[in-house]
Amino acid sequence: MKLAKRVSRISVSQTMAVGEAAVKLRDQGIDVVDFGPGEPDFPTPENIKQAGIRAIREDFTRYTATGGIKELKKAIVEKHARDFGSKYELPECLVNIGGKHAIFNIFSAVIDDGDDVIIPTPYWVSFADIARFVGANPLFLHTKESDGFRLTAEMLSRAITPRTRLVVVNSPNNPSGAVLDDQEFIRIAEVCRERGVHVLADECYAYFLYDGRKPFSIGSQQALKSHIIIAGSLSKTYAMTGWRIGFVLAAPEIVQSVLKLQSHSTSNPVSISQKAAIEAVTGPQDSVRNMLAEYSKRRKFVLERLRAIPGIQCAEPGGAFYAYPNISSSFNLGIRDTMDFSVKLLETKYVAVVPGEAFGTTEHIRISYATSMEQLDKGLNRIREFMASLR
């Protein structure tokens, strides 16, 4: 059967391949430790769930405005202003069905066939495939592990081509946990403005920063605002992955284009989720603080344990809930690449991780610590045994 070329340009997310193999083993009754999932292991906070239940009881179950109800957009721009010092107006905001939908629609609204999109590595898998889907050339800009996987304005300045339309910046980063220095982020956005390129700031993990560091948004920089597009998500911040609420903050023309697209595709985000989202952003924020405190403990534990394993190095993740250790020493011990490492680790020690090749690097694996201390302890012991077995 002949299928559309635009779909043949993309592939099924590699992050899922190891996950599927892990599920098969589990179905056979095997005790698999799963470090794959990129989602909080916490339930959605009670006050948010109750707001969703209330919405159903009050029959708030019909179509809403395509870009989300005014009350939610107002709550989002006000929270962004409070937390980051940004100044967005309602016509500069729209609500989507999760951050991924926001990003997909931004690419669709801004990119033309043959445009270049700069994506620093390691990158969240969907950026590259969405770029290909909309006909862009993804230009991968390799950040260095020795610099903590951080993009610099100087690197970017050398990479921008006359055809570059968009630079993707995801800080804190999935998969590396890298967090850009605020001033460097501003310099990056300044380079973009000078060269007439937009920055797409993916703020999915904006609230998960460690060591007391304050969240930052490039949206706070009024002078650069014309060249900034923010993609936000409530998924991780409020453990709401299944509710599917994300948002865009950008120039009204971009918001209007995304709105047009949504009006002919998904229509509005789920009405019930919108009411829950209002409670999430306007209600008490202690659940976010509690989750951060728990991730912080786990991060310390994972980092210490990984670094104690002979043959493994791990850069310190400043944010998100991932560690991105370098396992390349195993390449001298019979392991071909990170996919081979992940498959053998799963088949022999029953630990699922995501191979770095899925994120555009060749020497790493991603470990999600959005799982219990007990699982972390068990899985890290098994990784230590696996490394020892290679010697």
| Among the listed residues 174, 176, 237, 274, the single contact to ligand PLP using CB under 6 A | 174
Taking the least distance from each CB to ligand PLP, the nearer of 138 and 384 is: 138
Taking the least distance from each CB to ligand PLP, the nearer of 38 and 318 is: 38
Residues 128-157 that bind ligand PLP (CB under 6 A): none
Least distance from C-beta 59 to ligand PLP, angstroms?
Answer: 27
Least distance from C-beta 241 to ligand PLP, angstroms?
Answer: 5
Q: At what angle do helices 271-282 and 46-57 cross, to 10 degrees?
A: 140
Q: Residue 389 corresponds to which amino acid?
A: S
Token readout for 377 is 């302890």
Question: Which positions from 29 to 48 touch ligand PLP by CB under 6 A, shown as an x/- string?
Answer: ---------x----------
Residues 221-280 that bind ligand PLP (CB under 6 A): 233, 235, 241, 246
User: How are the residues of the chain apportioned to helix, strand and coil, as percentages rounded to the nearest 5?
Assistant: 50, 15, 40
Name the β-bridge partners of 322. 368
| Among the listed residues 34, 92, 116, 202, the single contact to ligand PLP using CB under 6 A | 202
Number of residues that bind ligand PLP (CB under 6 A): 13
Tokens 């394993």 belong to 309
Long-range residue pairs from 58-65, CB within 8 A, at least 24 positions apart, any chain: 60/271, 60/272, 60/275, 61/271, 61/272, 62/271, 63/267, 63/268, 63/271, 64/268, 64/269, 64/271, 64/274, 65/268
Least distance from C-beta 313 to ligand PLP, angstroms?
Answer: 23
Nearest residue to 71 via CA among 233, 264, 206, 271? 271
Least distance from C-beta 295 to ligand PLP, angstroms?
Answer: 14
Residues 55-114 that bind ligand PLP (CB under 6 A): 98-100
Taking the least distance from each CB to ligand PLP, the nearer of 170 and 330 is: 170
| Among the listed residues 86, 170, 368, 371, the single contact to ligand PLP using CB under 6 A | 170
Question: Which positions from 11 to 30 touch ligand PLP by CB under 6 A, shown as an x/- string?
Answer: --------------------
Least distance from C-beta 266 to ligand PLP, angstroms?
Answer: 13
Do you find a cis peptide bond into 162, omega within 30 degrees of 0? no
Query: What per-residue string of b and e applies to 188-199 under the rule 16 or more CB within 10 Å gives b?
Result: bbbbbbeeebbb
DSSP string, 256-314: HHHHHHHHTTT-SPPHHHHHHHHHHHHS--HHHHHHHHHHHHHHHHHHHHHHTSTT-B-
Residues 312-371 that bind ligand PLP (CB under 6 A): none
Taking the least distance from each CB to ligand PLP, the nearer of 143 and 330 is: 143
Least distance from C-beta 129 to ligand PLP, angstroms?
Answer: 13
Name the β-bridge partners of 96. 246
Taking the least distance from each CB to ligand PLP, the nearer of 262 and 328 is: 262
Rg of the chain in Å (alpha carbons): 21
Taking the least distance from each CB to ligand PLP, the nearer of 52 and 330 is: 52
Residue 119 phi, psi (nearest 5): -125, 110
Q: Sign of the CA dihedral 318, 320, 326, 330?
A: positive
- Check residue 121 for interaction with ligand PLP (CB under 6 A): no
Taking the least distance from each CB to ligand PLP, the nearer of 239 and 335 is: 239
Binding site for ligand PLP (CB under 6 A): 38, 98-100, 124, 170, 174, 202, 204, 233, 235, 241, 246
